[in-house]
């Protein structure tokens, strides 16, 4: 459907969660924002293009908001269907987006060595299938660039890190619509019925806070994310406030837990303790808190509020003082 002049939302699913990709149609450029998982161009993007009288050959540019399997896994399929399309992403996400093994090593499996936290073999296979085949990136963005799509229609590219180091968002000043990818997460990821199905998965806590503050200053009229319902009007600021409140509450609960555990806690123990306090998603996915909690711990260690102590059972974290 068209959510603003020239901006189309392509709806699908990633597991039980909504997956929303965006198509910007100008006379000078036709831009696809994210490509989904490896099968999604065939099951989502190309059928939508056919329904509006276009094909993969009509795409000029792909912009990946960030380096997750459900946002860039379809790159190879799109490039195969249209070798002339330019595949692009944030500069700091390029290495992970180009190579599934690098994405696995640095993102999905980043916590095995120090914390013993990892996905099962069947989950690993599913992740690799979703990441698709390696696909070189043609160009990168750092934020601050302008895309000229049509007469009187120029959109802005913003660097919105936190969920990934190179995360990008696109802003359309004409409709004041922000296509934000996964830049902000609220207090949970919902399923298609709005029930909590996954915890927030931001990584770089200080950058994530700064991104939320930046978006709060933008006077956004429509916030179009990849996994949450469209937010319009006052709901935009409400979602941003919810996102920041979750970060603040998570950090406070983490510090309280360490304060009550003089011997320290491993990351796995913190996940077990805090999962039920932080959200109503299924307890089976509490392990996904590894991303946010590891980010908080890294930030707290960097300002000497928390000490990280190597231990055979996994890194132990203790409150300083």
Output the pLDDT for position 318. 97
* CATH placement of domain 2-240: 3.60.15.10
In whole numbers, what is the pLDDT of the chain averaged over residues?
98
Q: pLDDT digit string (tens) for 248-264?
A: 999 999 999 999 999 99
Query: Would you list the domain boundaries of the chain?
Result: 2-240, 260-319
Output the pLDDT for position 184. 98
**Beta strand extents in 199-248 (DSSP E only):** 222-225, 231-232
Q: How far, CA to CA in Å, does 51 sit from each of 34, 46, 48, 58, 130?
A: 19, 9, 5, 13, 25
Q: pLDDT digit string (tens) for 273-316?
A: 999 999 999 999 999 999 999 999 999 999 999 999 998 878 99
Let me know: does 190 contact 86? Beta carbons within 8 Å: no
Positions in the chain short of pLDDT 50: none
Q: Is the pTM of this model over 0.85?
A: yes
């Amino acid at each position: 459907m068209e959510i603003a002049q020239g901006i189309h939302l392509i709806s699908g699913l990633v597991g039980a969660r909504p997956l929303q990709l965006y198509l910007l149609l100008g006379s000078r450029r036709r831009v696809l924002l994210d490509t989904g998982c490896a099968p999604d161009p065939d099951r989502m993007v190309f059928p939508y293009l056919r329904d509006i009288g276009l094909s993969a050959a009509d795409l000029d540019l792909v912009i990946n908001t960030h380096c997750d399997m459900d946002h860039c896994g379809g790159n190879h399929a799109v490039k195969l269907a249209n070798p002339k399309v330019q595949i692009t992403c944030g500069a700091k996400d390029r290495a992970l987006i180009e190579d599934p093994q690098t994405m696995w090593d640095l993102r999905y499996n980043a916590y095995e060595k120090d914390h013993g936290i990892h996905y099962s073999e069947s989950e690993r296979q599913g992740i690799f299938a979703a990441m698709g085949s390696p696909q070189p990136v043609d160009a990168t963005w750092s934020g601050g660039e302008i895309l000229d799509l049509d007469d009187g229609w120029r959109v802005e590219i913003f660097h919105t890190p936190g969920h990934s180091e190179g995360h990008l968002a696109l802003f359309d000043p004409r409709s004041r619509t922000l296509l934000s990818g996964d830049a902000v997460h609220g207090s949970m990821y919902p399923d298609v019925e709005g029930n909590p199905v996954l915890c927030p998965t931001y990584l770089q806590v200080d950058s994530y806070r700064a991104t939320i503050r930046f978006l709060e200053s933008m006077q956004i009229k429509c916030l179009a994310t990849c996994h949450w319902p469209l937010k319009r009007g006052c709901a935009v600021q409400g979602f941003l406030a919810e996102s920041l409140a979750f970060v603040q509450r998570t950090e406070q609960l983490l510090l309280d837990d360490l304060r009550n555990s003089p011997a320290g806690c491993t990351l796995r123990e913190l996940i077990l303790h805090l999962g039920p306090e932080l959200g109503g998603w299924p307890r089976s996915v509490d392990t996904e808190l590894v991303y946010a909690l590891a980010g908080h711990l890294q930030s707290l260690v960097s300002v000497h509020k928390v000490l990280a102590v190597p231990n055979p059972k996994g890194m132990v974290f203790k409150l300083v003082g």
